[in-house]
Chains A and B, each alone.
Chain A
Amino acid sequence: MAAKPLVSAAIAIAALAVVPFVASGSEYAIEVLFLIFLYGAMATAWNLLGGFAGQVSFGHAAFLGIGAYATTIMTSSGVSLWLAVPVSALLAGAYSLVIGIPAFRLRGPYFSIGTIGIGEATRLIALNWTSLTGGASGLTLASAPPLVQQYFAALALLVAAVGLAAWIRTSRFGYALAAVRQDTDAAETLGVATTVAKTQALFLSACILGVAGSVYALHYLFISPDSVFGFSTSIALVIMPIIGGLGTVTGPLIGAVVYTFIREQFAATLANADLLAFGVLLIAIVVFEPRGILGIADRIRGARKKPARVEATDA
């Protein structure tokens, strides 16, 4: 059973790796896939803390932003990408440790509200620390690696993130996180070091987001406090895993596909219709199927299996 997912994943990756060479005429297709990979990685990272550990954070854009700004500032000063990206990831991770200390003293909904505050505070700091970040006007990069290279970088990041999530899911660490999600106090009494587990999950998700931020900056060539630290970015990170399936391995990726698709459709047309659609989707999912698309898929599969089971018991 364990081989099956690996095989189909390998096939999928191989297929995706070939796309840029097959569809070389269509820059747009490559770009859309790139975005899906990037958002998929970001959503998967968020899910480590939000889905696996059950700590819903509305401020995760902070780590994306740190990665983006750190890489932009470093490469503009001549630092090589190979050094800048890991350093940015570690900076994001370090920041997560710092804010984790006060943040994890809060539980459940309080934690979530606290993260809104942290996300906004980080944005305001970036906005006002003009000498470092350029303030409201943001920073621009003069050049970028070719789109194909970015494509593979994003694909690699996605594979790494999903792979990490899959590995965590069935590891002791993953079970600890699940215990925290179910009932933090009970987990404590059972001997799970809950705060340590939460901090580890936060650190990992922050690092991945830090790398994603670097890729983001290199793609868009323009970052500003509103675009990377903004609340709408944090919202996106929350919406994707919920739509796809909170706490699952591939749910965030599915959510990312839906998100990218809807956004691209509405990009040039009706103002904000995409966020409106997401809001409606969010309500629908929360009310009817909190497990998201994967949950719906499970239900359908369950419904299809039912007739067979009934026959078996009859016989």
Chain B
Amino acid sequence: MSYGLALIYGVLKIINLANAGFLMLGAYVTWWLFTSFHVHPLLAPLVIVPLFFALGWGLERTLVRRVLHAEPIISLLLLFGVWLVLQNLAYVIWTGDTRSIETAFVEATVNAGGLLLSVPRIYVFVMGVLVLIALQLFLTRTYLGRAIRATAQDRDAARLVGVDVDRVMGIAFGIGIALAGFGGSLLSLLFSFTPDFGRALSLKSFCIVVLGGLDSIVGVAFGAVALALAEGFGVRYMPASLQNLISFVVLVVVLVALPKGIAGTVRALRRGS
């Protein structure tokens, strides 16, 4: 999910608050496919990824495009509005009752040398790594991927070189949303959820993206690990209920002290600036 945020920010220079909404929607669509059509949740992404890509692309073309040239705060508000609509539409359609996906897979555990590991968690972790690799390869090895990076670095220069900037922006947004939906689908295996699902996670993912540096995918991965470690340590020394507080404190601290995030700071240091 954080990759999606980073991608959208990098290319379009807008901060997508609606990601949380799409994350939640991803979870609900997975649930809906499971309960109404008996689609196994592991297969749901096959439907979700293209669907959400189309949704994201469509959203970009119709709404986001119009506000790209205004103050950045306007696009922030627009996506905030989109998130409000998504969240409350979910309340209206599915009500606030807690939903969860219950299959044998979700309950499965595996014994690894005395440590009892939950299979879904392993699956999600592996998926996360695979996505990271796939995304990195896409961005560095394919034409489209490089076009996206070019647009992120300098929109006008990219245009000069012949990149169809409009198309690239639509695609980037689409990928970002698709990643959010995929993330939601994965998370539905681990947690039960209500329409409020995205909110706390969305803030954590902002934290991760900022920690890692808004422009670097690998940085985001580091950010995620860093946050997870911080939370894990934190829980040992303070009540578990303060767990979420940790990520917010980190967010504020990082935003203030390291505005470029870890990767950005490292890059800046390397350049010797």
Residues of A within 8 A of B (CB): 54, 56, 58, 102-103, 105-106, 108-110, 112-114, 116-118, 120-121, 124-125, 127-128, 231, 235, 238, 242, 270-273, 275-276, 278-283, 286-287, 290
Contact B92 A114 (CB under 8 A): no
Q: Which of B67, B78, B83, B249 has the most CB of A within 10 A?
A: B78
Closest B residue by C-beta to A235: B84
Q: How far is the CB of A127 from chain B (nearest CB, A)?
A: 7
Residues of A within 8 A of B96 (CB): 271-272
Given A109-B73, A286-B78: 11 more A-B contacts, CB < 8 Å: A106-B256, A109-B14, A109-B76, A113-B251, A118-B248, A128-B239, A235-B84, A272-B92, A279-B83, A282-B81, A283-B82
Residues of B within 8 A of A271 (CB): 91-92, 95-96
Q: Is B77 in contact with chain A by the CB < 8 A criterion?
A: yes
Residues of B within 8 A of A273 (CB): 88, 92
Report the bound CA distance from A273 to B95 in whole Å. Answer: 11
Partner of B81, one of A112, A113, A121, A279: A279
Report the bound CA distance from A102 to B203 in whole Å. Answer: 18
Contact A287 B248 (CB under 8 A): no
Contact A280 B252 (CB under 8 A): no
Q: Which residues of B57-96 have CB atoms within 8 Å of chain A's CB atoms? A: 63, 66-67, 70-74, 76-78, 80-89, 91-92, 95-96
Residues of B within 8 A of A270 (CB): 92
Residues of B within 8 A of A105 (CB): 256
Partner of B78, one of A106, A124, A275, A283: A283
Partner of A282, one of B84, B207, B242, B259: B84
Q: Is B103 in contact with chain A by the CB < 8 A criterion?
A: no
Q: Is B140 in contact with chain A by the CB < 8 A criterion?
A: no
With A106-B256, A113-B255, A118-B252 known as contacts, the answer to whether A275 contacts B76 (CB < 8 A) is no
With A120-B203, A235-B84 known as contacts, the answer to whether A128 contacts B73 (CB < 8 A) is no
Q: Is B241 in contact with chain A by the CB < 8 A criterion?
A: yes
Closest B residue by C-beta to A113: B206
Report the bound CA distance from A110 to B256 in whole Å. Answer: 10
Closest B residue by C-beta to A118: B252
Q: Is B99 in contact with chain A by the CB < 8 A criterion?
A: no
Contact A121 B249 (CB under 8 A): yes
With A120-B248, A124-B245 known as contacts, the answer to whether A279 contacts B92 (CB < 8 A) is no
Q: How far is the CB of B8 from chain A (nearest CB, A)?
A: 12
Q: How far is the CB of A237 from chain B (nearest CB, A)?
A: 13
Contact B77 A56 (CB under 8 A): yes
Report the bound CA distance from A179 to B69 in whole Å. Answer: 20
Residues of A within 8 A of B239 (CB): 128
Q: Which residues of B26-63 have CB atoms within 8 Å of chain A's CB atoms? A: 63
Q: Which of A102, A105, A109, A280 has the most CB of B within 10 A?
A: A109
Contact A286 B245 (CB under 8 A): no
Report the bound CA distance from A235 to B239 in whole Å. Answer: 29
Contact B84 A278 (CB under 8 A): yes
Q: Is B244 in contact with chain A by the CB < 8 A criterion?
A: yes
With A128-B242, A286-B67 known as contacts, the answer to whether A110 contacts B259 (CB < 8 A) is yes
Q: Is B121 in contact with chain A by the CB < 8 A criterion?
A: no
Report the bound CA distance from A282 to B69 in whole Å. Answer: 18
With A272-B88, A272-B91, A286-B67 known as contacts, the answer to whether A113 contacts B245 (CB < 8 A) is no
Contact A279 B84 (CB under 8 A): yes
Residues of B within 8 A of A124 (CB): 242, 244-245, 248
Q: How far is the CB of B72 from chain A (nearest CB, A)?
A: 5
Residues of B within 8 A of A283 (CB): 63, 78, 81-82, 85
With A127-B241, A282-B84, A287-B67 known as contacts, the answer to whether A114 contacts B251 (CB < 8 A) is yes
Closest A residue by C-beta to B200: A120
Report the bound CA distance from A55 to B67 in whole Å. Answer: 18
With A271-B92, A273-B92 known as contacts, the answer to whether A117 contacts B251 (CB < 8 A) is yes
Residues of A within 8 A of B72 (CB): 108-109
Residues of A within 8 A of B248 (CB): 117-118, 120-121, 124
**27 A-B pairs with C-beta separation under 8 A:** A56-B76, A106-B259, A108-B72, A112-B73, A113-B210, A113-B251, A116-B206, A117-B248, A118-B248, A120-B244, A121-B252, A127-B241, A128-B245, A231-B199, A238-B80, A242-B77, A272-B92, A276-B91, A276-B92, A279-B86, A279-B87, A282-B78, A282-B80, A283-B63, A283-B85, A287-B67, A287-B78
Report the bound CA distance from A120 to B84 in whole Å. Answer: 17
